[in-house]
Amino acid sequence: MEAYVIYIQGHEDSEKFSDRCIQSIIDTESDLTVEKFPAITPENMWQVNYTWPLRKKIKCPKTGLLLSAYKTYDNNKRIAAAQSHYMLWRKCVTLNRPILILEHDAIFTKKFDTKILEWWPGEGAVSINNPIGATFSAKEYDNKLTNGINEVPWLTGNDVPQGLPGHSAYVIYPDAAREVMNLQEEIGWWPNDAIMCRQLCPWIRCYKPYITKCQGIKSTTSKE
């Protein structure tokens, strides 16, 4: 399977940790062909209809979901991050086969064996990342998952987008990639880890035992 590591060219930490991610793929002898993927940045992003709130909370008129502003010091970086994932979703559709999308903070703790795909759903998107250090209410998220393929657990009310435990490492299939790209255009752009939520994308899943975890580095989009 092809894997793509999103990294920011010229950003010292991003370059260093993306290289560590790739080395961990080698060290675990994972069944992956890996390639670094240059991130979209505020310098080369394109204009989109970004409808996620910049402050406080709003109720989305098109979905009825309650949206809360992220702690972000530069929303252009948040939008650029979403566009990086969008470009890889488009690549998945073009290739017409599943791919593994990685952010530079992912690191492999065990082998990714393509044999596990034989009993995966063969559609949608599946996170392989440990929620600890990757998302809010991480321990509760972890406690709700059992070994195997899991539905994304409910941690809040069903009017709040509930997604994967971060977007550091997930396999996505072509039909799912096409669907989430269409969602960005139909309802207005949201952060990539928000648009791919259980309410709008009921096909998202989590796999346990986890294959990756976050390296615990400083976010390039969240408030400093």
Taking a C-beta distance cutoff of 8 angstroms, is the pair 11, 220 a contact? yes
Domain count, the chain: 1
203-220 confidence digits (pLDDT tens): 999 999 999 999 977 666
pTM of the complete model: 0.94
Mean per-residue pLDDT, 19-35: 97
- Pick the most confident of 14-18, 111-115, 152-156: 14-18
Q: Where are the alpha helices (DSSP H) in 28-149?
A: 75-95, 138-143
**Helices and strands, number each (H, E), in the chain:** 5, 11
Q: What is the pLDDT of residue 220?
A: 60
221 within a domain of the structure (yes/no): no
99 within a domain of the structure (yes/no): yes
**% pLDDT > 90, the chain:** 82
Mean per-residue pLDDT, 11-37: 97
Gap between the Cα atoms of 94 and 178, Å rounded = 10
Q: What is the pLDDT of residue 14?
A: 95
Mean per-residue pLDDT, 44-71: 94
Amino acid (1-letter code) at residue 223: K
- Say which CATH number the domain at 195 has: 3.90.550
219 within a domain of the structure (yes/no): no
Q: What is the pLDDT of residue 98?
A: 96
Amino acid (1-letter code) at residue 61: P
194 within a domain of the structure (yes/no): yes
What pLDDT band is residue 118 in, cutting at 50, 70 and 90? Answer: confident
Instruction: Say whether pLDDT at 224 is over 70.
Output: no
Print the domain residue range for 187.
2-214
187 within a domain of the structure (yes/no): yes
165 within a domain of the structure (yes/no): yes
168-207 confidence digits (pLDDT tens): 999 999 999 999 999 999 999 999 999 999 999 999 999 9
What pLDDT band is residue 158 in, cutting at 50, 70 and 90? Answer: confident
Gap between the Cα atoms of 151 and 184, Å rounded = 22
222 within a domain of the structure (yes/no): no
What pLDDT band is residue 222 in, cutting at 50, 70 and 90? Answer: low
ω before 121 within 30° of 0 (cis)? no
95 within a domain of the structure (yes/no): yes
Show the tokens assigned to 54: 């910049």
User: Which of the pair, 19 or 120, is modelled with greater confidence?
Assistant: 19
Mean per-residue pLDDT, 57-81: 91
- How far does the chain reach from its first CA to its final CA, in angstroms? 35
